[in-house]
Amino acid sequence: MADMAVRCVVAAVDGSAGSLRAVDWAADEASRRQVPLRLVHASLWERYEPETEDGDGPLSARTEVRHVADAARARATERQPSVETVTEVIPEEAVSALLGLGHLAPVLVLGHRGTGGFAGLLLGSVALRVAARAAYPVVVVRSEPSAPVGRVVLALSEDQDEAAAAAAFAVAEARLRGAELDLVHAWQRDSFLSGSSVLLADTPAQELAERLVAGAALPGAEGLTVHRHARRGRAAKVLLDAAADADVLVLGAARRHGLGGLQLGSVSHAVLHHAPCPVAVVPAG
């Protein structure tokens, strides 16, 4: 999805600390992109609970949901007063509700953990399932938004479709932030059998990685400071090290036909679980 296609930023809210961090990041992103912010909460109670007055009794599930949404909106508005902010309660199960937002052409922001309407919002559960299947960029935020350091990291893939979509998003983020862009690709030594021995050769794998990084296309990056790195090591560790002082790490997600849409590999799983900065998962076009 090209940057021009992003029409709004959406944050999933449920009142948890994780979702409030997502609200903060989403409000800042909406301000950078100059698009509206939509705060959504998924609750099946909204479908089944009858309209009743709470009176002096305990708050109904519907009223609690609305309090959560209103509190999130107040927080976002205080953080970014100039951003147009709306709330929406979706009467559906969390994953289907979030995956159904594609018509909004959003960037979706999720907290690392959540409760309430997005019950069990843990990586490996709702957040991971949405990041793996969404047809739009999904950003997972693990910690409080920190002071910008002026650095966006792009995990460079060998898949051209996957690389193109992620590169477009990373270029847009770098430009919006006035940040430098780091392309990072990991390589490991080739191994092959010779008799009873395993021989290792650095040169072929390293050369291929360096060619890939040097030749990576970055449309729209004119005027940006771009660094290109081919680093030896396991891909997950290389990317996590690169993310240590980044504003955001951008990953591509490939389309694999017959497997239920987008899929995330073991490297993406590891990065989403452990990255110290927000991680953007961008689907191939």
pLDDT(147) > 50:
yes
Q: How far is CA 81 from the centre of its chain?
A: 24
Give me the sign of the Cα torsion angle 252, 233, 230, 25: positive
Structure tokens at 95: 């994953």
pLDDT (average), residues 182-186: 96
Same structural domain, 237 and 263: yes
Token digits for 6? 């992003």
Domain annotation covers residue 146: no
Last-in-domain residue among 106, 141, 176: 141
pLDDT number for residue 1: 44
Q: What would the mean pLDDT of 255-281 be, rounded to a whole number?
A: 78
Residue 195 structure tokens: 């008799």
Residues 6+ apart with CB under 8 A from 122: 112, 113, 114, 128
State the distance between the two ends of the chain, measured CA to CA, in whole angstroms.
6
Residues 222 and 266 in one domain: yes
Residue 271 maps to a domain: yes
- 110 phi/psi in degrees, rounded to 5: -120, 145
Tens of pLDDT, residues 108-120: 999 876 444 444 4
Same domain, 132 and 159: no
Question: Do residues 35 and 133 both lie within one domain?
Answer: yes
Residues 131 and 217 in one domain: no
Structural domain includes residue 166: yes
Return the pLDDT at 121: 44
User: Between residues 79 and 62, which one has the greater pLDDT?
Assistant: 79
Q: Are residues 36 and 125 in the same domain?
A: yes
Do residues 164 and 275 share a domain?
Answer: yes
How far is 25 from 169, CA to CA, in rounded Å? 16
Give per-residue pLDDT as tens, 80-115: 999 999 999 998 988 899 999 999 999 999 987 644
Residue 19 in domain:
yes
* 8 A C-beta contact, residue 175 and residue 228: no
| C-alpha separations of 256 from 95, 181, 253, 264, 279 in Å | 20, 28, 9, 10, 21
CB 225 within 8 A of CB 180: yes
Q: Are residues 22 and 132 in the same domain?
A: yes
> Measuring CA to CA, which residue among 72, 91, 65 is closest to residue 26?
72
Q: Is 259 found in the same domain as 160? A: yes
Residue 14, in any domain of the structure: yes
Looking at the fold, whether 171 and 249 belong to one and the same domain comes out as: yes
Q: Which domain holds residue 188?
A: 151-283
Q: Do 122 and 165 reside in the same domain of the chain?
A: no
3-state secondary structure of 36: coil
**Structural domain total, the chain:** 2
204: domain CATH number is 3.40.50.620
pLDDT value of residue 254: 77
pLDDT at residue 206, rounded to an integer: 87
Q: State whether 242 and 176 are in the same domain.
A: yes
